[in-house]
A and B are shown apart, each in its own frame.
Chain A
Amino acid sequence: METGALGKVYEDGDLLVRQGDPGDCLFVIQEGTVEILMEQGGREKLLRTSGPGELIGEMAIFEHEARSATVRARGRVRALTVDKKNFLRRIHEDPSLAYRLVQTLSRRVRDLSRRLAEVDA
């Protein structure tokens, strides 16, 4: 890895987040692709994949619930951890910082609505 690369490297198959674990941070993918998986009845279901620049695990910032899904590296991944406390402190100072998070959540709602419509059809 280059000396200037920030974040932590996860090898293929490494877990960034495990479903059911407590969450106190979010991740910003710097390089590579991660799989977002939901485990139900002992089976894994791939919900989506995420790549560079995308925010992962953002629900942990606003909820005190356990992680709702597992995040696994597909190939080599470099991700930066964003501390919940630091992020909330900064949002308190600058609420516009939450804009991108709201934008991300809005995209996900739109995507889910589209998929739901496809299932109904």
Chain B
Amino acid sequence: MTDTRHSPDWTLGDGSRIGVIGSGPAGSFFSYFLFDLAHRTGIDLEVDLYESRDFTRPAPQGCNMCGGIISETLVQNLATEGINLPASIIQRGLDSYVLHMDVGSVRIETPLHEKRIGAIHRGPGPRDVREIKWESFDGYLQRLAMDKGARRIQDRVTAYGRTPDGRPRVTLKSGNTTVYDLLAVAVGVNSPALKLFESEVGYRPPRSVKTFIREYYLGKETVDAVLGNSMHIFLLNLPRLEFAAFIPKGEYASLCLLGDDIDKELVTRFLESPEVTRAFPVRFDPAKGSCQCSPRINVDGALHPYADRLVFLGDAGVTRLYKDGIGAAYRTAKAAAATAVLHGVSERHFREHYAPLCRSIAQDNRLGKFAFAVTRGIQQRRFARRAVLDMTSGEQKGRAARRMSGVLWDMFTGSSPYRSIVLRSLHPAFLGRLAWNSGASLLRGRE
């Protein structure tokens, strides 16, 4: 490939046209930060934001098939960016989580007793919503991007190609064709649009697995009384289940199961577990929800998520393993926008300024896989589950430093990089206390 770094054609200037396919968090954040950075550098850009869904209409027209958690890290980062998430889009602020196991349950509070995690509906809400009482998270971000200057086009991109001079060209379902100086692909792994780019040299879409999400209408009073402001997490000895959470929202609660291709049998076994039935309201049938879906999630980043005048963001590029997908969308979108505005839009510019972030997330995910393997080992051993419970309970009662509580909090909420979690769990004081609790648990088991 020729050295294109110094070619003026690769820089964005007044009137440059950028197309963004997908107006989920990655697409909207990318558009928002493009304008933000362009404004600081004095450039006028034109941004077309393609989105076929309508976030003002209830599922499935406006649904984005997501559990809907904004991690505390992302809440803080957005606040320092000047994006303060309003109460009208946060269905519930969470200040704690409850870990449920067969050996008991323990509640873990945020260190500052502050509502630092946001539970949201990505779209306007589940299928049985007739009257929309809140703003969807994706709709809110789309509005932020449009307020900055993005032009929303409600149409579907059906074809992709390149002009003779190498500029990306998209054709819409309506038949219109547009040529761009830069094209950003910000669709999810469930979108058929990803297939349009398989011809792009080097790009391989991310590997994905099937998950399960079910929404329940419980009513606000029941959610308050049964779930409160806590995310409920289940550490059960069920094969193929990596993570299960019951997330309270305003009037609804979302059940999310992540693991190795979650199927109907696994869902049934999970819902019949005594630990799960205890967490649901009395005389409530967990088999019946308002709606459900089995979306696929990215578990392995895409190969080469950039090319000349083309960049893949969020799930279409690289995201965090199982957690904080919206946070990864924010980070990749902003890094790509900064590369495009401050450096240029060639493959080399993205390789030098965007790829390091993608590699960093991918490397952290490898440690995440190790951390989840350890969690799986704990799930499979009763004495280990009891040791975790005892250690965490003691910490919550103030008997010891919050080592296990902190590790579990970050592991299940996605608040810290997996590297930080693994390093803290290798601390001698952590290992010492865990060994002591494991020994005590084994002895109690023999008795």
Contacts and interface: CB of A to CB of B under 8 A. Distances in A.
A2 interface: yes
A94 B338 contact: yes
Contacts of B82: 53, 100
Contacts of B77: 86, 90, 97
A5 B80 contact: no
B79 A80 contact: yes
Nearest to B94: A6
Given A94-B334, A94-B338, A99-B40, A8 B80 contact: no
B355 interface: no
A3 B250 contact: yes
Interface string B196-234: 000000000000000000000000100010000100000
A101 interface: yes
A4 B114 contact: no
B69 to A, nearest CB: 13
A interface bracket (residues with beta carbon within 8 Å of B): 20 to 34
Contact of A6 (B75, B334, B360): B75
A96 interface: yes
A47 to B, nearest CB: 22
B121 to A, nearest CB: 11
Which of B73, B76, B85, B118 has most chain A Cβ within 10 Å? B76
A39 B87 CA distance: 35
B220 A3 contact: yes
B293 to A, nearest CB: 23
Given A55-B80, A83-B76, A100-B81, A3 B40 contact: no
B280 to A, nearest CB: 20
Nearest to A95: B338
A52 B84 contact: yes
B92 A4 contact: yes
A82 B84 contact: no
B148 interface: no
Contacts of B220: 3
Contacts of A101: 80
A28 interface: yes
B404 interface: no
B382 interface: no
A86 B93 contact: no
Given A55-B80, A86-B76, A97-B77, A81 B112 contact: yes
Given A93-B331, A96-B37, A99-B40, A6 B80 contact: no
Given A4-B87, A7-B114, A93 B357 contact: yes
Nearest to B334: A94
Given A81-B112, A99-B40, A4 B118 contact: yes
Contacts of B89: 4
B79 A94 contact: no
B367 to A, nearest CB: 15
A55 B81 CA distance: 10
A90 B90 CA distance: 23
B358 interface: no
A33 interface: no
B335 interface: yes
Given A26-B80, A52-B84, 16 more contacts: A3-B93, A4-B86, A4-B90, A5-B93, A5-B115, A6-B87, A7-B114, A7-B116, A28-B80, A80-B79, A81-B76, A89-B417, A93-B360, A96-B37, A97-B77, A97-B80
